[in-house]
Amino acid sequence: MSTPYLITVIEGDGIGPEVMSAALNVLERVKKSYSLNVDIVKIEAGDKALAKFGLAIPEESWRIIKSSDAILKGPVGESAGDVVVKIRRGLDLYANIRPAKVYPGVKALKDNVDLVIVRENTEDVYIRAEYLLPEDVAIALRVISKRACRRIAKIAFDTAFKRRKHVTVVHKANVLSLSDGLFKNTVFELGKAMYPDITVDEMYIDAAVMDLVRRPERFDVIVTTNLYGDILSDLAAYVTGSIGLAASANIGDDKAMFEPIHGAAFDIAGKGVANPTAMILSLSWLLKWLGEKKNDVNMSAAGREIENAVIDTLARGEKLTPDLGGGASTQEFTEAIISRII
C-alpha cells in the first residue's frame, strides 16, 4: 500500500474547533467513498498553545508541519500573526489565492461577482519588522523584492490564462513610488514578455476598493501586495454574501496551507451556529491541490465532490446557517452537505 498523505490540522481558536470538526466529518465521508489514503495529525497552535508553551507554534508542532504534505488550518485568535506568518514565511508559501464568487442561493451585495485575488504572501509589512524609537515614534519596515513580485505575477497570469485572461495590478505607486512602483513594473514586464494574450491594467488601491463594491464585474484576476490583498479579499467576501463562505490557499513550490479567511469569531463560539462553508471548501481545495500535485485522480475527484455538495446545499437553501439568512446549526448544515456526497 502506498504511503498515506499526511495532513496537519490546526483546529484554531473560537469557532475554529467547530468548523474544523465539520470539515473533518466531511473528509471522513469522502475517505470512504473514494478510498483516500490520508492520515490526519492534529497539532497544538494558536492562543491555547501560546498560553501553554509560550509559543503560538511549539517546536513539536513546527516539526510536524514541516513534514506534512499539506496543512488545513482553522481560524486563530490573538496569536494569528504568530501562526500564519510563521507558516507562510517558514514554508515559503508565497502565493495567497482568494477566490470571490456568488454561489447559488446566497443573497449577495452584488450578483455578478466572479474574481480571484492573487496576493503576495511573504513580504510587505508582514515581515513584522517594527521598531519603537525615542520620542514615541514607531517605524515599520516594508520589503518588496523583484523576485517575489515576479513569482506572484506568474501565478496571477497562469490563473488568468485559465479564466477570462484579464489581470488588474492593484498598487499605490503614486505615493509609494519605489516599493509599489517595483511591484507594478515587474508585473507589466512579465506580462509583456511571457503573456501577450492576457490584458493587463492597473488601479490604485483606493479606487480598487471602490470598484470592488460598485462594479465588481470588471475584475477577473487581481494581483497585489500582501497588505492590499488582505484588505481587498475581506471586502470581496462581504460583497459576495458572507465571509463565512470564503476559502483561501497559501501555496508554495512544495507545500500548501488551506484556511478560511474569517477570524475566530469568539462572540459566537460554542453556540453551534458558525458557518463551516469556508472551512469545508478549504478542505475541498486541499484535496484537489494534492490530487493535481500527486497525480491522484481519486483525491481530485473527492475534492470536486465536496465542492459540488456545498454548492448544491447552498442552492437548495433548506439548511442555511444564520449568517446566510437561515436557522440551521453548524451540524445540520454539515449533515446536509454530507448527505449529498456519493
- pLDDT tens for each residue of the chain, 342 residues long: 578 999 999 999 999 999 999 999 999 999 999 999 999 999 999 999 999 999 999 999 999 999 999 999 999 999 998 999 999 999 999 999 999 999 999 999 888 899 999 999 999 999 999 999 999 999 999 999 999 999 999 999 999 999 999 999 999 999 999 999 999 999 999 999 999 999 999 999 999 999 999 999 999 999 999 999 999 999 999 999 989 999 999 999 999 999 999 999 999 999 999 999 999 999 999 999 999 999 999 999 999 999 999 999 999 999 999 999 999 999 999 999 999 998
Longest Cα–Cα distance of the chain, Å, equals 65
Cα separations (Å) of 156 from 97, 151, 205, 221, 335?
A: 9, 9, 17, 7, 36
Catalytic residue among 230, 255, 288, 323: 230
**230 noted as active-site residue:** yes
Catalytic residue among 94, 126, 195, 228: 126
Q: Measure the CA–CA gap between 261 and 234, rounded to whole angstroms.
A: 7
Catalytic residue among 172, 184, 288, 319: 172
Residue 247, classed as helix, strand or coil, is strand
Residue with cell 494558536: 46
Q: Which of 313, 298, 194 is nearest to 245 (CA)?
A: 313
| pLDDT score, position 185 | 98
**Domains of the chain in sequence order:** 1-93+244-342 (3.40.718.10), 109-239 (3.40.718.10)
| pLDDT score, position 1 | 54
Quote the distance between the C-alpha of residue 315 and its chain's center. 23
Catalytic residue among 47, 69, 180, 234: 234
pTM value is 0.94
Q: Measure the CA–CA gap between 210 and 46, rounded to whole angstroms.
A: 34
**172 noted as active-site residue:** yes
Q: Measure the CA–CA gap between 329 and 114, rounded to whole angstroms.
A: 28
Q: Measure the CA–CA gap between 249 and 117, rounded to whole angstroms.
A: 11
Catalytic residue among 111, 201, 206, 254: 206
Cα separations (Å) of 220 from 173, 217, 323?
A: 21, 8, 26
Q: Measure the CA–CA gap between 210 and 18, rounded to whole angstroms.
A: 34
Q: Retrieve residue 190's grid coordinates.
A: 512579465
| pLDDT score, position 114 | 96
The single-letter DSSP state of residue 39 is E
Q: Measure the CA–CA gap between 106 and 245, rounded to whole angstroms.
A: 10
Quote the distance between the C-alpha of residue 277 and its chain's center. 13
